[in-house]
Amino acid sequence: MTSSGFSGRRVVVTGVGMVSPLGLNVSDTWCAIAAGQSGIDYITGFDAEAFDTRFAAEVKGFNPENYLERKDARRMDRFAQFAAVAAQEACSQADLNPREMDRYSVHVVVGSGIGGISTLTEQHRVLLDRGPRRVTPFLIPMMLADMGSAQVSMVTGAMGANYCITSSCSSGADAIGVGWDLIRHSKAEVVLAGGAEAPVAPLSVAGFNALRALSRQNENPAGASQPFNRNRDGFVLAEGAAIMVLESAEHAAARGAEPIAELRGYAATSDSHHLTEPNPTGQSAATAVTEALASAGLQPSDVDYLNAHGTSTPLNDWHETKALKLALGDDAYRIPVSSTKSMTGHLLGAGGALEAALCTRVLAEGLMPPTINLDDPDDECDLDYVPNVARAGDLNVVLSNSFGFGGHNSVIVLTRPGR
């Protein structure tokens, strides 16, 4: 490994929290990922019979009152509930209580692409059916995208800066990248960073159907998310959250915290091309990969595994494959690449956060998640996508790609602690 591109303080991950379609915590989610289970099924949150897509990856069995005060939970949109619960788990794992330290040294950055769309659509229905006086006074504070970060701040007691990153499907990854930068440049000691999303609502499903972005394989929901497969026809909408406790290595060492992973690098670029389609050259996404590695002081030859954006849309999977070949050269064929969206669906603004969080487990367990439903690979997608079964390996350096509508490209580099 080289180190010429690395500068600033080292940033470590000391805690992770997850709420996902595969489980309400890190352990359950990881066990399902390792086993290649799908979290995708028919929609239960509303009657989807009239929709072109009738399935999604919903969080199952989630009762916010098991984790939060009833009054507080009722004043949060579902996405903010997810964020608050994931943050509590992350802080518990890190043995970190901001209320017992300099609270202004703990910052919060939580990404969300859409925010409280369930509350917004529900209250719009109230407005039309029952009139303006019946709209809840909590509409605005529940629908705002920054309420994920605000609620994390309130639940944990963090009193440093708290704000939301909104960059479509790169939001969660960018939030983690911003947290890395704050610590690296000594603007924070601790950052609670990640993403949260709860977009499985009638308006969202109808809108993505209008874009023809969602899979319509209604006869087999569990098999509908099939990144890099020949018959893929769109992504599967999903919900959930992931939060990571990021700390300066010095701060973690001073309080005796054991790092789970090191957040070694991050970079972001823009396609400057189209509202929804990736740039067909793949060059901008490739540059994000190259710059992320450079920020970490690493080379393609150092990379052991890559968690792809891998949405299961025809264009994304083609262009991501092309970008990886441009960025990694011959190493693109050596490096195992998988898409956990084949199991979790696409959590939009929370997707990059969940996938980065999963990468910390990849490093800790030495196990690469599979890309399930990969039975007939597309000829244009010819890399090693870890088809259908998880694979063990000696893993020290992993990458996580996140790309978003509007041309956002974000890449995170994680390593085993001390590597």
Please give the single-letter amino acid code of residue 278.
P
Closest CA to 354 of 333, 369, 365: 369
Determine how β-strand 41-42 pairs with β-strand 55-56: antiparallel
Q: State the SS3 of 51-95.
A: CCCCEEECCCCCCHHHCCCHHHHHCCCHHHHHHHHHHHHHHHHHC
Closest CA to 162 of 80, 75, 100: 80
| Residue 50 · residue 204 · CB < 8 Å | no
Number of C-alpha atoms within 13 angstroms, CB side, residue 323? 32
State CA 323 to chain mean position distance.
20
* Rounded-to-integer distance, Cα 373 and Cα 81, Å: 31
Please tell me the total number of residues recorded for the chain in this structure.
419
**Residues annotated as part of the active site:** 169, 309, 346
Burial label for 230, CB within 10 Å (0-12, 13-18, 19+), is middle
Q: How many DSSP H helices and E strands does the chain contain?
A: 14, 14
* Rounded-to-integer distance, Cα 79 and Cα 157, Å: 19
Inter-CA distances, 271 with 103, 106, 180, 322, 342, Å: 38, 33, 23, 14, 25
